Structures are given as C-alpha cells and as structure tokens.
Structure 1
Amino acid sequence: MRKITVADAMSAKPSRIGPEDTVVEAAKTILSKNIGSVPVCVGQKLVGLITSEDIVKRIVASNKDAKKARVKEVMTKNPVTIGADAELVDAMKLMAEKNIKRLMVVESGKLAGILTDGDVLRVAPELMDYLYAELEELKKDVQKAEADDLCEACGNYTTDLRLVSGELLCDECREAV
C-alpha cells in the first residue's frame, strides 16, 4: 500500500490575500469561502497567514477599525510550512507538536496548498487502512524473525542457534547431540 502524503490530503490552490489588503477584505474572504484562514502572499511567495481568530483577537477585541487595519498588521508571520511530498503522519505530528490547526504547503518557495485538521480527518479512514497494512507487514516480519530463531529439534526460541549436522540447534539440543 502506498504511503499517504500531504499532497493527498491538502486543499490545493487555496484563496490568498495580500499583506496590504484590509482586514475587512480578509474577513469577507474567510466568510464567503467558509474557511478559517487565508494565506497571505506577495505574488506566489507565502509571507503570512491570517485566521478568523487573529481578526477577533487583534481587531475586534481591541476595538480597532478593520477597514483601516492592514492584513500585515494582524497576520501571523512565517507560518509553519511543510512540503507536499511529506508523509501525512509527519504532518500530523508537526501539527500536534506546534499545537496548530493548519500547515501551509510550500513547494519551491511557493504556496502549493494548505493542510487543515479537517483535511486530515477527511482522509483518516484511508490513513487507518495504510497504518493497519503497515502493522500487518511488521507482524509478518516479526513472525518470520521468530521462526528463523526456532530450534529445529525442540522448537524453542533462541538467539543462539548453531548449525550442527545440517540442523539449527539451541544450546541445550547441541549439548544433547
């Protein structure tokens, strides 16, 4: 089974906004697209991220004028990024480690997409299938390794098998020969 990558789960070509746009424009984009955040870009280059939480905390709760405030004043600079070819499991670990809900997906310095906790949940069944398949392969490897370490005379497991008269024998069976 193929590994699941960030590209398999991310939302490609997300809405974007510029750092000089007003916070009202960012809020309208967030509402109209029913999303929780908008990447902030200069051309194709990611420079920040503005979330609905940023707007509430830094504008609404502070009684600032959203029509005058610029996105660059409110955005999170240097958001956490990941490559599209990274394994989804690694992205999930990074999100948990940083306690964040979204990762910006960057390829060659350009924004390629966004991975949210919702995107991860959407592919969770496929991810579970992949993890179960990996677990089954590991079980087979362990069983094979254990079978390789069984004495051919008594069947006991040991890490000290030696070839005696064409048979792999444990210490006790070697002494009996």
Structure 2
Amino acid sequence: MKVRDVMTSSVDWVGPKASVVEVAQLMKKEDVGSIPICDDNKVVGIITDRDIVLNVIAQGQDCKNTLAQDIMSRKVVSVSSDQDVHEAADLMSRYQVRRLPVVDQGRLAGILAIGDMAVERIHVNEAGDALSDISQGAHQNWN
C-alpha cells in the first residue's frame, strides 16, 4: 500500500513569517498538532504544538511577535506519495516523529500521520510498533 492511499491530502500550511499565534489558531481550527511551514508550497519547516510550548511559552517569548521561522524545525523528514507505507512507518520510528509531510516534486502534497496508518487494518501492528518506538524515545528523553 502506498502513502497516497492513506495520507491526508488537504493540508493547510503557513509561511515562515506567520506569527506563532496564527500557527496555533490554525492548529485549533483544523484540530491538528502540527503545521507545515512552506515558502510557495515548498516545505521549509514544520511546527508542532510541542514546539510552541517549549520554545515560546516555556521561554516566556511573546507569541504575537515570534514568527514561525523562529521556532520551526528545519530538518523535515518527509515521504513521497508513491512510497510504501512500511517505509513511512520505519521513518517515523527512526526519527521519532508521528507525522510526515508528503512531498511530491518539491511541493507539499499532503501529510501522513501515524493514525492514518493505524486505520488500515493491515498496518495496525506496524503503526503500533512505530508509536511504541516513538514513545520509548520520548520517555528516554525525560530521564
């Protein structure tokens, strides 16, 4: 099964100059935990709700004047829509991420969340294994 078969293709994104408040409002509106940061639909970063908490709120930064480019993760792990979902699960596990932007020909085509794979019965175990690996990595970071 390919990534295109389970990914979410309708994905909102913001530009690097968007304020963290705009990012958080979009997360709330779309009920998501991450937002791709794009420059003309080309992924240049990603922001998670965790990034906002740790890099803005916990540091006492001004949410209105902090820009997406100031806190985004620039090393974005992505997949293409024609990659196998097994490869995507391996990437999630290896890089300890729960969401992967789907990039085709240099442009954002969608997003693949670990939950997208879990809804496909054939990949439930693989998604569960990836989530377990991600959670163990997060737990190790706490110690």
- Provide the TM-score with structure 1 as the length reference: 0.68
Partner of residue 32, structure 1 = 29
Partner of residue 64, structure 2 = 67
CA-CA distance at 1:70 after TM superposition: 0.3
Q: How many residues align?
A: 124
* Residue 13 of structure 1 pairs with residue 10 of structure 2: yes
Distance 1:41 1:96 in 2: 24
SS of the aligned residue for 2:111 comes to strand
* Residue 23 of structure 1 pairs with residue 20 of structure 2: yes
Partner of residue 42, structure 2 = 45
- Provide the TM-score with structure 2 as the length reference: 0.84
Instruction: Determine which structure has greater relative contact order: mean sequence separation of CA pairs < 8 Å that are 6+ residues apart, divided by chain length.
Output: 2
**Equivalent residue runs for 1:43-122 within 5 Å:** 43-122=40-119
Could you say which structure has the larger radius of gyration? 1
CA-CA distance at 1:126 after TM superposition: 4.0
Q: Which runs of 4+ in 1 moved over 2 A?
A: none
CA-CA distance at 1:59 after TM superposition: 0.4
CA-CA distance at 1:127 after TM superposition: 3.6
Q: Which amino acid aligns with 1:118?
A: G
Work out the percentage of aligned pairs sharing the same amino acid.
Answer: 34
CA-CA distance at 1:121 after TM superposition: 1.1
Distance 1:7 1:27 in 2: 27
CA-CA distance at 1:71 after TM superposition: 0.4
Distance 1:13 1:78, change over 3 A: farther
CA-CA distance at 1:32 after TM superposition: 1.1
Distance 1:127 1:101, change over 3 A: closer
SS of the aligned residue for 1:76 comes to coil
TM-align CA RMSD = 1.0
